[in-house]
Amino acid sequence: MNLHSRIRRASLSPRLAFAFFLLAFFPITGLPQKTERSRVIYSILGVGIGTKLEKAHEKLDRLSTNKARSPREEEAHEEEEEQEREGGRKEAWSLKTTAYATVALKTNREGRVVWITGWLRPGREIAFGKLGNLSSALGVTESRAVWNVATRTGGYRVVAKGQNGKARVLYLLSLATSPMQ
């Protein structure tokens, strides 16, 4: 029995059978391909949006030029913890041996990072194209590139600023909104 008579016995029209054959053996080129994902940086030195403050300290304290706290600094730290209970906390690190000279962040009441900013050392600027796929950016100029990245927790924005298509300052900002108090 030949293929044509098998198709007729299965009550499929020859045209429909041919369409199934084409779909099975040739890819549909109009669909988006997963080979080129719209990748965008998601952290600065391992600290990204939503990172817990304790985890940020684990990563950044060991890279910091800051020394152990004195008793006076401990008192200031206790005041900061009181401010944290009132709606978040801001911290900054001066760094050694990294491309970043300084990193600053802010957390929400739950102690999770809502924004982080990194200032790159002179000569260590990062090309915008290495931070994310430029074709998926909202806007790109010689001095700025901006991406919005969707995540299951609301997403984040990446803003790179510098000169000649290279970032000198990098911002990651949460796009998730917290409930009104």
3-37 tens-digit pLDDT:
555 545 545 455 544 444 433 433 333 323 333 34
Question: Does residue 46 carry a pLDDT above 90?
Answer: yes
With 0.85 as the threshold, say if the pTM is over it: no
* CA angle, 118 then 123 then 128, to 5°: 60
Please classify residue 128 by burial: count the beta carbons closer than 10 Å to its beta carbon, then call 0-12 exposed, 13-18 middle and 19+ buried: buried
Give me the phi and psi of 172, to 5 degrees please: -120, 125
Identify which of 161, 160, 166 has the alpha carbon closest to the alpha carbon of residue 147.
160
126-141 tens-digit pLDDT:
999 999 999 999 999 9
